[in-house]
Amino acid sequence: MWPSASRITIYEYYPGAPIPHYCIQCPDYPCVSACPTKALSVDQLTGAVLVDPSLCTLCLKCVEACPGKVPKTTRGKSHVLICDLCFGDPACVRECSRVGYNALKTVKKPSNTGIKHYAKPPELVAEEFGRKIYM
């Protein structure tokens, strides 16, 4: 098990207000366009961003381009980590439902571009969410 290599990260800036942070598959995929080595591509079936470990140089241009600063790096991995939707069967969702929290669900990708608003750095989400429950 390797917690920091997980492609979903939970931040908690306020007690009881955890923020799951992961790739939301932007309709325009700014990370893919930003990558100078073409290490990133879009899975035609799931819409997930796929990383080619052999091409990634860890230049972090994708992180810069990502509205949520999602792509992760960790010790011992020579490439960025981005959620690949487990090729259609998300393990995180399975685990979350198994324990009965049901905080994560698989949904159909909405067609509008509004979805991009969900890609936010965790600090910002925390501020909004925290304000809601703590004020």
Partner 1 sequence: MQIYGSWGKLLSVDLSAGKTSEERIHPITYRMFVGGRGLATYILWRELGKKWGSVDPLGPENMLTILTGPLTGYYPGIKLVVSGKSPQSGGVVGSAISSHVAYSIKTAGYDGIIVRGASRDPVYIYVRDDLVEIRDASKLWGLKGLELTKSLRSELGRDAPSLYIGPAGENLVRTAAVMARWFHAAGYGGYGAVMGSKKLKAIVVEGSGPLPPVARRDEFLKLRYEVIDKVAARSTFRVWGTTSGLWRVGHDTSSEPIRNWVEEWHNREEFSHVAIEKKYWIKNPWADWGCPLACMKVSKAVVDGVTYYTDGPDYEMGAYLGSNLGLFEVDKVIALSALADDLGLCGIQTGNTMGFAVELYERGLITREDVGYELKWGDFYCLKRLMEDIAYRRGFGGVLAEGTYRAAVEVAKRRNLPSEEVLKYAVQVKGIGVGAHGIRSRKDYPQPIAYAASVQGGDHTSVAGLPADSEESEISSAFLDSAVVCSFTSVEEETVLKFLNAVTGWGVTKEELYRTIGLRILSLQRILLLLGGPDVRWDPRVHDDNPLRFYEPLPSGPYTNSVVSRDEVLNSIAEYYKQLGWDSYGIPTEETLRKLGLYDAVDVVKTLRRELGVS
Partner in contact with 92, chosen from ligand SF4, partner 1, none, beta carbon below 5 to 8 Å by kind? ligand SF4
Point out which span in 12-20, 39-47, 59-67, 78-86 binds partner 1 (CB under 8 A): 12-20
Please report whether residue 125 would count as binding ligand SF4 according to CB under 6 A.
no
Partner in contact with 42, chosen from partner 1, ligand SF4, none, beta carbon below 5 to 8 Å by kind? none
User: β-pairing, 49-51 with 40-42?
Assistant: antiparallel
The minimum distance between CB 135 and ligand SF4, in angstroms, equals: 25
- Ramachandran region, residue 67 (left: φ > 0; alpha: ψ -120 to 50; beta: rest): alpha
Q: Which member of 75, 105, 108, 117 binds partner 1 (CB under 8 A)?
A: 75
Which is nearer to partner 1, 46 or 129 (by Cβ)? Answer: 129
Please report whether residue 114 would count as binding partner 1 according to CB under 8 A.
no
CA–CA–CA angle 101, 103, 108 (5° rounding): 135
Q: How far apart are CA 101 and CA 70, in angstroms?
A: 24
Which is nearer to partner 1, 42 or 104 (by Cβ)? Answer: 104
123: Cα within 13 Å, side-chain hemisphere? 2
Contact positions toward partner 1, by CB under 8 A?
A: 1-5, 11-13, 15-17, 74-76, 98-101, 133-134
Contact positions toward ligand SF4, by CB under 6 A?
A: 7-8, 22-26, 29-31, 34-35, 37, 39-40, 49, 51, 56-62, 66, 68, 70-71, 80, 82-86, 90-92, 119
